Chains A and B, each alone.
Chain A
Amino acid sequence: MKGMFSTDIENRGLVLDPRTKLTVVIALVVFSLGGAGSGFYCVRAAVIALCLLPIVLLFTARRYKKALLLAALFVLVKSAEIWLVPQFTGAALSISSIVCMFIVRLMPSLVMGSYMLSTTTVSEFTAAMQRMHIPQNITIPLSVMFRFFPTVTEEFSSINAAMKMRDIRIGGKGAGKLIEYRLVPLMVCSVNIGSELSAAALTRGLGTKTKRTNICKIGFRLQDLTVLLLVLSVFVLWVLGMAGVIK
């Protein structure tokens, strides 16, 4: 089974530079999650386009079914937020607006994050970080982390299932052991996987003093330029809005 965060490199369609993906993630965090510039009409409109970008990227990565599903969900919820929610009052208003906000704000960044992780290999990531002159002391832990997330979530869901079988769950008999009985096995297997990982990485020359080479070809191409221009235009609109040129 392919998890949400594992890389599938054979079948990934259009390739973007890791730095481009990172830029899109940051833009989404600033505008969609952080809600910067939501006071300006133009920015709000542009952010909707920005939020649809990860879904388009999923299309280019040949995840048609997932992309269609997410696009439908986003359009539905966003239009509900604009037209339907303001007509509610009282508790219905606060509950529906929280639910809409949760989906509209969080989903684009989550989709982009999972797109980034599922289309970037560790080598590409390291190569991009090297070009950005980020020290190894930061890039090695980060790349281990990103590759480790799928493992942690996978192991965790298996442990979760086992503990549910033993009735150690919220409202079950062993609720007091809820955290201990989940975290301890998770940590034991993480540590074991970690030492295997270190052995594998050391044989590949990680942590040597010499400069490492990388055969990955990364660089900015036409598709990167298109994506970056879109992101840049949102930032420009935001600055224009703050300067008082547009509303």
Chain B
Amino acid sequence: MKGKDLINIGIFSAIYFVIVFVVAMLGFVPILLPMLAVLVPIIGGIPFELFLTRTKKFGMIWIMSVIMGLLMLLTGMSWPPLAVSAVTGLLAELVFKAGKYRSAAMAVLTNAVFSLWVAANYLPLFFAAEKYWESRKDYGQDYIDKVNKLMPTWMCPVMFASAFVCGIIGGLLGRKLLKKHFEKAGIA
């Protein structure tokens, strides 16, 4: 990897994180909390597919994934997202590598695998719920009840599945926009 590749990672991480941040703000309305696993993979797919056209060397996707995990740590989501993103990032990297860093179908699948880290944000909700809410009492009992009702334990695999499926949708959308706009502009 050269300096140019690392700079590209930084730029696309910034765009991706702005999207994550905007969507995460919606989570303060209880009903929209699960939407994070729907909206981030779809909207994030657009910059991510463009990022993949610049990915030619091993490690770029992995680093971006780890950076996302680090940022989650810095924005108060604790360590599970980082632990998951370190693994799914490597998997996404291997998927795209299997497509020789240029296969369009593999690029769509890569976005799906990459997006799995988003679902990891919910892990404390399912497996350490009591501890999670104890430190968040000031959200109000009303909010806590609503979220608990919305998120029974069986929702956990659903969240990961939703991130994966929406990742595919986002990947397809990204590819479509790539063809429609960026190839014409000569930057894809």
Q: Do A and B come from one complex?
A: yes
Interface of A toward B, CB cutoff 8 Å: 25-26, 29-30, 33-39, 81, 93-94, 97-98, 100-102, 104-105, 109, 136-138, 140-145, 148-149, 152-153, 156, 179-180, 183-184, 186-188, 190-194, 197-198, 201-202, 206-208
Q: Do the beta carbons of A153 and B18 come within 8 Å of each other? A: yes
Show 17 A/B contacts (Cβ-Cβ < 8 Å), sorted by A: A25-B74, A35-B135, A38-B134, A38-B135, A38-B138, A97-B139, A98-B139, A138-B67, A140-B6, A141-B9, A141-B10, A145-B13, A145-B14, A152-B14, A180-B46, A191-B11, A198-B7
Q: Shortest beta-carbon distance, B31 to chain A, in Å?
A: 13
Write out the residue numbers on chain A whose beta carbons fall within 8 Å of the beta carbon of B2: 207
Residue B15 interfacial (CB < 8 Å): yes
Main secondary structure, interface of B, reads: helix
Question: Is there a chain A Cβ closer than 8 Å to B152's Cβ?
Answer: no
CA of A109 to CA of B177, assembled, Å: 36
Q: Does B50 contact A (CB under 8 A)?
A: yes
How many angstroms from the CA of A101 to the CA of B76 in the assembled complex? 15
Q: How far is the CA of A93 from the CA of B139 in the complex (A)?
A: 11
Q: Which residue of chain B has the shortest Cβ distance to A137 in the bound complex?
A: B63
Q: Which of B155-187 contact A (CB under 8 A)?
A: 177, 181-182, 185, 187
Contact B3 A206 (CB under 8 A): yes
Residues of B participating in the A interface, judged by any CB pair closer than 8 Å: 1-4, 6-11, 13-15, 17-18, 28, 43, 46-47, 50, 59, 63-64, 66-67, 70, 73-76, 78, 134-140, 142-143, 177, 181-182, 185, 187
B64 touches A141 (CB 8 A): yes
- List, in ascending order, chain A residues with CB within 8 A of B138's CB: 35, 38, 81, 97, 100-101, 104-105
In the bound complex, do residue B6 and residue A93 qualify as a contact, i.e. CB atoms below 8 Å apart?
no
B66's closest neighbor in chain A, by CB? A138
Q: Judging by beta carbons under 8 Å apart, are A94 and B135 in contact?
A: no
Give A29's nearest chain B residue, CB to CB. Answer: B76
- For A207, list chain B residues within 8 Å (CB): 2-4, 6
Q: Are A144 and B139 in contact (CB under 8 A)?
A: no
Q: How far is the CB of B74 from chain A (nearest CB, A)?
A: 6
What residues of chain A lie closer than 8 Å to B64, measured between beta carbons?
Answer: 141
In the assembly, what is the distance between CA of A208 and CA of B17, in Å? Answer: 28
User: Which of A37, A101, A141, A192 has the most CB atoms of chain B within a 10 A radius of its CB?
Assistant: A141
Which chain B residues lie closer than 8 Å to A143 at the CB level?
10
CA A9 to CA B73, docked complex, whole Å: 28
User: Which A residues are in CB contact (< 8 Å) with B4?
Assistant: 198, 202, 207
13 more CB-based (< 8 A) A-B contacts, given A148-B10, A187-B15, A198-B3: A34-B135, A105-B138, A140-B3, A140-B7, A144-B6, A145-B17, A149-B18, A190-B15, A194-B8, A197-B7, A201-B3, A207-B3, A208-B3
Known contacts A33-B76, A191-B187: A136-B6 contact under CB 8 Å = yes
Q: Please tell me if the beta carbons of A149 and B14 are within 8 angstroms of each other in the complex.
A: yes
Do A97 and B140 touch (CB < 8 A)? yes
The docked-state distance in angstroms from the alpha carbon of A149 to that of B71 is 13
Chain B residues with Cβ below 8 Å from A179 are 43, 46
**Given contacts A29-B76, A183-B43, A201-B3, A142 and B10 within 8 Å (CB-CB):** yes
**A194 and B53 alpha carbons, distance in the complex (Å):** 15
Partner of A144, one of B10, B74, B136, B137: B10
Whole-angstrom distance from the CB of B26 to the nearest CB of chain A?
13
Residues of A within 8 Å of B9, CB to CB, are 140-141, 144
**Chain A residues with CB under 8 A of B13:** 141, 145
> Contact at A194–B7, with CB atoms within 8 Å?
yes
- In the complex formed, the residue of B with least CB distance to A22 is B74
